[in-house]
Amino acid sequence: MRTYLLCVSAALLWPGSGIAANTPQDIAKDFCHAVAAQALCGKYLVMDKTVESRLEQLAGGKLRGKTSPLNPLCEAGYNEYYKAESALGLEKSCKAVVGLFGPQGTRRAGLVTARTAPAMKLPQSTISIMVKDLCYAASVARACPGVSLSKGVEERLNTQSGVKLRDPKGYFSTECGSGTYRASLARGKTSLPEFCARSLVAYGKTGNIRAGLLSRTADLAARPATPKPASAAAPRPAPATQPAPAKSVTPAASPAPAPAKPVAKPPARPAPAPALAPAKSAAPVVAPAPVPAKPVAKPPARPAYAPPAPAAPALAAPLAPARPAAPLRPVAPSQYNLVILTQLPPLAAGKTPTSILGAVPGTLGPQACRAIQQRVARAGQNLRAARTFATQTRQAILYTAEVKAASSLCPTLPAGRLPEAVLAGAINTGLDACPVVLQTIRDLNAVATGYRKKSMYRGLFGITQAKLWAMERMQGSCSRYTQGIMKSTLKYTRKAADRERKSYTCRIWQNLFYSEMKAVRALSSKKAIAQALRRLDSRAAAAIHGERAACENPSYAASSEKQWLSTRKYLQLRMGQGAASSY
C-alpha cells in the first residue's frame, strides 16, 4: 500500500516538481523566483537555457512579460525572492534557492544547478582583489594611448591563481565588472592624461598598488623621433647596395647580349641620352654654370607656392589650444572628495516626506485653489436657485461633490457646509428620490473622469466621498424597485473608494517623483549642478520615501531608487570633473 501511494504521489507531481503543483500559476511563480535568484546568485547557481521553454510547454503559454496573463504571478515570484534576500542575506538566500529548485529541490526540482567554486591556488579573497586590479588595468589600457597591459602578465596571474581571471562567464566575473566600473568612475573624475598618469603610478612597473600590470608602448611622438633616423639610416644604404649587385649579376651571366639590352633600355626611359652631347662641346660649354643659377632662380618662385603647402600645419596650430579647453579646469579641490552613495539615505530623525516637501502631495497651488473656490460658489448659487424637489436633490449632491473635492485638493480653503437639510427634506416628503440620486451619481462619473485625465487624483477622492454621502442618506427612502440598485451601487462604490485610495495615493507620489526628477534635469542642463544635487537629496528623496510607504508593490519604489542613485552618481561625477555639458 505504501509503495502504491508513493507511485501515485510521484505521478501527480511529475515532472521533477518537488512538492509543487503543476498549475500554470505555480509554474510561473516558481520560475520567476528562480530567475530573480539567478540574476544575483552567479557564484552559487546556474540555470539552463532550456528551462523556460520546457516550463512554457508544460504551462501552455508564456510565463512572463506584459502580454502574458501569468505576469502578475511572475512578479509575485520575483518579490518572493527579494523578500527572502532582504531577510536572509545574499549567500543564504541563494543556497535556499538551490534547496528549493536544485536537482533535488523540495519545491520544484530541476530549475537550477548548484555551482561549485573552481580549484584555486590562492585564497578567494586574494584572487578577488587580484581580479579587480587586473580588470581596472585592462580598462586603463583600452582608454589610454601609449599604455598597455604588460606582456604575459595576465597569463602569469592566471597561473598563480589557478583560475581564468577575466573570463566573462567565470567565477570572478562580478569582481571583474567591479574593477571595470571603478576605472570608469575614476576616468570620469579627471581628464584623460591625468587619469592615465595616476593609473601608471598605481599599476606601472613601480606601481604602489600592484606593480607590473601596465607598461608604456613605443608609439608616442617624442621618444621614437630620435631612434628612427638611426634605424632608418642603416637600412636605407643596405637596400641601395642590394639591388645594384642584383643588376650586375644578371648581365654577368651573359656578357655579350646583356650589355646591349640594358644600354638600349636606360636611354629610352629617363631620356638622359643628351648627356653625351655636352661632352662633345665640353670646352666652350661653360654656360652650364648658369644651370645651377636656374634652380637658384626657381626658389624665389617656389615660396609663392609655399604658403599653400604648409596649410596642414596652419590648421594644426588652432586645434592644439582647443584640447586643453575641454576639461574646463580649474575645479575646487574639495569637489574631488565626493562620496558615491550605494543606497538611498534614510529620512532624518523627526522628519516625514510631507514635512520635507512643505505640502501634501497632490494638492493644488493658490491660483488653482481660487478657481476651485469659484466653482464651489457657483454650485452654491445653483442650489439656492433650485425650486423643484428633484432639482434641489440633484443640486445638493453636485454641491456636496464640489465641497469635498475642494477640501481634498485645497486643504487650506475653509470647509463648506453640507446641505443636510435639503436631503432630509427630500426624505420627509415620502417620495422616491433614489432615481434622481442614481442619475446624479452617473453624472458625477463624468466629473471624476475629468479629474483623472488631469491627474488630480485627490479630486477623485472627494467625488467618491460625495457619492457615498448621498447614497447612505437616501437608501432608506428608496422604493422596492430602486432599493436593490441602490444597495449594489453603494457596495460597489465602497470597494472602489478603498481601491482608489490605495492606487491613486501611490500614483500621486510617483508623479511627484517624476516631476522632481524633471526639475533636477532642468537644473543640470543650466549647469546648476549644486542646486540639482540639493533638490535631488531633499524633494526627490522624500518622494521616494513617500512612494515606498504608499505603494503596496515594492518594485515601484525600488525602480525609483535606482533612477535616483544613477542620477546622483552622474551629478557627482559632473561636479568632480567640472564639465558643463547637459544630459
Residue 236 counted as domain residue: no
In this structure, is the dihedral angle defined by the CA atoms of residues 134, 140, 145 and 146, taken in order, positive or negative?
negative
Residues 96 and 171 in one domain: no
Q: Looking at residue 149, what is its pLDDT?
A: 92
Three-state DSSP class for 148? Answer: strand
Residues 45 and 78 in one domain: yes
In this structure, is the dihedral angle defined by the CA atoms of residues 458, 564, 555 and 348, taken in order, positive or negative?
negative
Beta strand pairing call for 147-149 and 214-216: antiparallel
Closest CA to 154 of 169, 175, 136: 136
Residues 17 and 48 in one domain: yes
Q: Looking at residue 277, what is its pLDDT?
A: 44
Q: Which of 220, 244, 268 is the last residue of a domain?
A: 220
Residues 212 and 154 in one domain: yes
Q: Specify the pTM.
A: 0.42
Residues 461 and 405 in one domain: yes
Residues 374 and 468 in one domain: yes
Residues 157 and 176 in one domain: yes
Residue 536 counted as domain residue: yes
Q: Looking at residue 189, what is its pLDDT?
A: 81
Q: Give first-to-last CA distance, the chain, whole Å.
A: 72
Closest CA to 178 of 345, 44, 47, 342: 342
Residue 185, all three cell numbers: 568612475
> What is the per-residue pLDDT across 74-125, written as a single tens digit (0 to 9) for each?
988 988 988 888 888 888 999 999 999 999 888 998 899 988 888 888 988 8
Residue 110, all three cell numbers: 530541476
Low-confidence ranges of the chain (pLDDT < 70): 1-21, 218-342, 430-431, 576-583
How many Å apart are CA 319 and CA 115, to the nearest integer? 55
Q: Which of 89, 114, 139 is the last residue of a domain?
A: 114
* Rounded (10°) angle between helices 434-453 and 480-525: 10
Q: What total number of domains does the chain contain?
A: 4
Inter-residue contact 70 to 64 (CB < 8 Å):
yes
Residue 210 counted as domain residue: yes
Residues 563 and 519 in one domain: yes
| Phi–psi pair at 147, nearest 5 degrees | -125, 140
Q: Looking at residue 306, what is its pLDDT?
A: 47
State the amino acid at position 228 in one-letter form: K
Residues 107 and 51 in one domain: yes
How many Å apart are CA 70 and CA 79, to the nearest integer? 15
Those residues whose C-beta lies under 8 Å from the C-beta of residue 537, and which sit 6 or more positions away, are 345, 568
> What is the per-residue pLDDT across 374-429, written as a single tens digit (0 to 9) for each?
989 999 999 888 888 888 888 989 999 999 999 889 988 887 788 888 888 777 77
Residue 197 counted as domain residue: yes
Residue 286 counted as domain residue: no
Residues 370 and 452 in one domain: yes
Residues 62 and 132 in one domain: no
Residue 407 counted as domain residue: yes
Please, where are the H alpha helices in 475-540?
Answer: 480-525, 529-535
Residues 132 and 100 in one domain: no
Residue 470 counted as domain residue: yes
How many Å apart are CA 521 and CA 583, to the nearest integer? 7
Residue 398 structural domain: 366-478
Residue 215 counted as domain residue: yes
Closest CA to 376 of 350, 320, 415, 340: 415
* Rounded (10°) angle between helices 541-550 and 554-577: 170
Q: Which of 53, 88, 114 is the last residue of a domain?
A: 114
